[in-house]
């Protein structure tokens, strides 16, 4: 990470989306042991479940956003670079800790 303002663990913005088909698995993910219960298939494509506007694997708490499957995270997540154009766009659209996406009532972050 080269941009000190793009600290992923204190951000998590790119792990939020109101689009339930935001995160599709690629052929490179076939060997990754992602929990079957966190995935769904539609139209011949497999997606990671997004509940309430965030990835089902995102763990929020103590001011941190942690990926619960970091070692096995999908290829699309690996390709998403901190400080990139897409990163800045996600931070602007979703807010830090997804504050612009999620329902803040009762959230632990």
Q: Is the dihedral of CA 2, 82, 78, 51 positive or negative?
A: positive
Separation in Å, CA 12 to CA 20, 36, 73, 79, 106: 17, 23, 14, 15, 18
Other CB atoms within a 10 A radius of the CB of residue 43 amount to: 6
Residue 69 engages ligand SF4 in binding (rule: CB under 6 A): yes
Binding mask 81-100 for ligand SF4 (x = CB under 6 A): -x----x--xx---------
Residue number, 9 or 42, with CB nearest to ligand SF4: 9
Segment near ligand SF4 (CB under 6 A); pick from 24-32, 39-47, 65-73, 98-106: 65-73
4: which residues sit within 8 A by CB, 6+ positions away?
none
DSSP state letter for 109: -
CA distance 103 to 51: 11
- What is the size of the binding site for ligand SF4 (CB under 6 A)? 22
Residue 25 engages ligand SF4 in binding (rule: CB under 6 A): no
Residue 40 engages ligand SF4 in binding (rule: CB under 6 A): no
Residues in contact with ligand SF4 by CB under 6 A are 6, 8, 11-15, 23, 48, 55, 57-58, 67, 69, 73-74, 77, 80, 82, 87, 90-91
């Amino acid at each position: 990470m080269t941009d000190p303002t793009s600290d992923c663990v204190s951000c998590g913005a790119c792990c939020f989306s109101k689009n339930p088909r935001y995160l599709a698995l690629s052929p490179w993910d076939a060997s990754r042991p992602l929990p079957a219960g966190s995935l769904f298939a539609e139209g011949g494509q497999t997606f990671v479940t997004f509940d309430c506007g965030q990835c089902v694997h995102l763990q929020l708490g103590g001011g941190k956003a942690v990926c619960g499957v970091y070692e096995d995270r999908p290829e699309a997540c690996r390709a998403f670079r901190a400080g990139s154009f897409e990163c800045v766009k996600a931070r602007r659209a979703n807010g830090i800790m997804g504050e612009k996406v999620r329902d803040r009532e009762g959230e632990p972050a």
